[in-house]
Amino acid sequence: MGSIPHWNGVAFRIWAPHARAAAVIGTFNNWYPGDYMMESENNGCWYLDIPKAKPGDEYLFRLYTDQGELTRLDPYAQEVTSSKGNCIVHDAQFDWEGDNFHLPAWNHLVIYELHVGTFSMTDNESGTGTFKGILNNLDHLKKLGVNALEIMPVAEFAGERSWGYNPSQIFSVETSYGGPRAFKRFIRKAHQEGFAIILDVVYNHFGPQDLDLWQFDGWSENGKGGIYFYNDWRAHTPWGETRPDYSNNMVRKYIYDNAEMWLNEYHVDGLRFDSTQLMRTVDGKEKNKLPEAWIMMQWINGDITKDHPGKIVIAEDMQNNAWLTKDIEHGGAGFGSQWDCNFLNPIRDAVTTSSDHKRSMKDVARAISFRYNSDAFERVIFSESHDSVSNDRSRIPWEIDNPDPTGWHAQKRSTLAAALVFTTPGVPMIFQGQEFLESSKFMDDIPLNWDKDKSFSGIVNLYRDLIHLRLNKNGTSNGLKGQSVNVFHKNEIRKVIAFHRWDRGGAGDDTVVVANFLHEPQYNYKIGFPHPGKWKLLFNSDWNGYGRDFSNHPSMDVFASESRKHGFKYSAEITIGPYSVIILSRYD
């Protein structure tokens, strides 16, 4: 479908079942509609081969319908001049320089979510960030230690500023970000530097602005969207009546082809489906299901698993639905992982609540222990994402202390949440700027304040150290990559929680994490340990190297001796600072 360059011209194909005739117009015929009439393939599609056309030419389709003559952008166009402009015959050939990048195992992933338009300093006429701008800050991300970048949607949208969740042309790459070749150059360089790329895609609705798909070939029912959309009550979404008609084979193929394009032609390492809840249901209510959407997701995920082994597809559903990540053969949707509200909400509540006595260690324990099905890595865990720091919510430091979002309370409790992200079983993710205490609400016209990277370099180092421990960079914390967790202690009075993480167990593997949710330090606090002997202190979030106002309470290595505590035969006393986390590892 679309425009297909070949050795002797360009072939064009379009789906417009209600058109009486169709033509291709473009720079190759001075936009005259009568030169290149298309032939019907008797299946709703129209086809024409134009020897004179070549990559770089601009074009549009002219449809002759009962509603008059309609000029349309190509739904499959891989390049456009703008969301209101013309299509460009795209040459997909690109020198990948031998790119053969492989996504790390999912228990080795640390994801950094970013928005192209605001992550980097503005470096183009539109005033938005670009793919090139991200490359200028790769050193920061490399030092931080993340190894996967989740990119918010880059499909062409209306205007030059957007979150990206209003795609006008899902096969085209946003022009203001640099377009398709710049995106490929960015991915190639990211892979060379060791970063996987996971791309957000939006299939729960299209547009609604600058949407040529709307009543594409003139036909519609009930005044709704025509061939690409439901034309009854199922069309309704929070963003307009533009839900794709998943019951239509051609629409399902349109979405399937788009997912395959990103994996094949752009070498992305995974996809994150936006709001699957509003794909599988009309309004989030299980009684209003769309089973055809579930079947489509199974088709896409099944073929990705078969044809792209190692790639990851993540669902954003946020409805605690384990069926999304169950195997297709057992009726599941076949996603590899899903964003997890069972971690996000309790942890945010625990650190943003102003009164210590209202912090629930029971809820924190559930958040740490929860999993979908039997695999801890079927969930992506985070304390900030683009959704949770926008609209009616703000960044965690601001919610903790909005008069002083860079003060002691904001620093201590936001990093307490971060430490739990990197020590809890799951795929950890942080949102851009979180690592240097960005406190501004996320908006598509406010770039990150990169000055904070220097003024809060200690917080950046705290995140870096946590990421290095999560990835077992020093060979002392392999348990943080394992499936297993045992929350063996929760104290609702003193607001302390402790848990054991392990993979295979043993020295450098067994890890104990202790978190203090109280504004006071805990001195000589006795906790159980699963094994006797020395436990080496790997991390203390109260260290004043992370923050000048941090207390630097003297946490240190401990020796667990035989004395029963918390279900273990062994125990030791620890000291932990206020609103702090310490991580200890079994030492040989």
pLDDT recorded at residue 35: 86
Quick one: 208 and 327 in the same domain? yes
User: Mean pLDDT across the stretch 315-344?
Assistant: 96
Q: Are 198 and 245 in contact (CB under 8 A)?
A: no
pLDDT recorded at residue 170: 97
User: Mean pLDDT across the stretch 164-188?
Assistant: 96
Flag the least confident range among 66-75, 330-339, 438-447.
438-447
Cα angle for residues 276, 282, 288 (degrees, 5° grid): 115
Quick one: 83 and 115 in the same domain? no
pLDDT recorded at residue 395: 95
The pair of three-digit structure tokens given for residue 114, joined into one six-digit string:
């970013």
Quick one: 38 and 155 in the same domain? no
Computed over every residue of the chain, the mean pLDDT equals 95
State which of 53, 88, 123 marks the end of a domain.
88
Based on the number of CB atoms within 10 Å of its own CB, is 367 exposed (0-12), middle (13-18) or buried (19 or more)? buried
**Quick check: 126 pLDDT over 70?**
no
Q: How far is CA 276 from the centre of its chain?
A: 13
Please report, for the domain that includes residue 34, its CATH number. 2.60.40.10
Q: What is the pLDDT of residues 259-297, one digit of tens each?
A: 999 999 999 999 999 999 999 999 988 899 999 999 999
Q: Per-residue confidence at 532, pLDDT binned at 50, 70, 90? A: very high
User: Mean pLDDT across the stretch 191-203?
Assistant: 98
Quick one: 151 and 298 in the same domain? yes
Give percent helix, percent strand, percent coil of the chain, each to the nearest 5.
30, 25, 45
pLDDT recorded at residue 555: 82
User: Mean pLDDT across the stretch 207-214?
Assistant: 95
Give residue for tokens 């003297």: 554
State which of 448, 470, 492 marks the end of a domain.
470
pTM of the predicted protein model: 0.96
Quick one: 155 and 74 in the same domain? no
Q: Is residue 377 included in any domain, yes or no?
A: yes
Quick one: 268 and 304 in the same domain? yes
User: Mean pLDDT across the stretch 158-163?
Assistant: 91
**Quick check: 454 pLDDT over 90?**
yes
pLDDT recorded at residue 34: 83
Please report, for the domain that includes residue 174, its CATH number. 3.20.20.80
User: Mean pLDDT across the stretch 75-90?
Assistant: 96
pLDDT recorded at residue 128: 85
Best CA proximity match to 196, nearest among 236, 151, 252: 151
Q: Is residue 234 included in any domain, yes or no?
A: yes
DSSP codes of every residue in 135-185: HTTHHHHHHHT--EEEEPP-EEESSS---S-SEEEEEEEPGGGTHHHHHHH
Quick one: 179 and 274 in the same domain? yes
pLDDT recorded at residue 524: 95
Quick one: 226 and 304 in the same domain? yes
| CA–CA distance, 348 with 362 (Å, rounded to integer) | 14
Q: Per-residue confidence at 123, pLDDT binned at 50, 70, 90? A: low
Q: Is residue 52 included in any domain, yes or no?
A: yes
Q: Collapsing DSSP states into helix, strand and coil, what is residue 429?
A: strand
pLDDT recorded at residue 262: 98
Q: Is residue 585 included in any domain, yes or no?
A: no
Bigger pLDDT: 510 or 124?
Answer: 510
Give the total number of structural domains in the chain: 2
Q: Per-residue confidence at 554, pLDDT binned at 50, 70, 90? A: confident
Q: Is residue 494 included in any domain, yes or no?
A: no
Quick one: 72 and 186 in the same domain? no
Q: Which domain does 392 fall in, by range?
A: 109-470
Q: Are 193 and 142 in contact (CB under 8 A)?
A: yes
pLDDT recorded at residue 284: 85
**Quick check: 175 pLDDT over 90?**
yes
Quick one: 80 and 160 in the same domain? no
Q: What is the pLDDT of residues 358-396, one digit of tens each?
A: 999 999 999 999 999 999 999 999 999 999 998 888 999
Quick one: 13 and 69 in the same domain? yes
Q: Is residue 525 included in any domain, yes or no?
A: no
Q: Per-residue confidence at 124, pLDDT binned at 50, 70, 90? A: low
Q: What is the pLDDT of residues 15-72, one digit of tens each?
A: 999 999 999 999 999 998 888 999 999 999 999 999 999 999 999 999 999 999 999 9
Best CA proximity match to 151, nearest among 161, 142, 164, 138: 164
Q: Is residue 134 included in any domain, yes or no?
A: yes
Q: What is the pLDDT of residues 1-22, one digit of tens each?
A: 999 999 999 999 999 999 999 9
Quick one: 247 and 392 in the same domain? yes
Q: Is residue 155 included in any domain, yes or no?
A: yes
State which of 434, 452, 470 marks the end of a domain.
470
Query: How far apart, in Å, are the Cα atoms of 422 and each of 108, 324, 514, 530?
Result: 11, 24, 13, 21
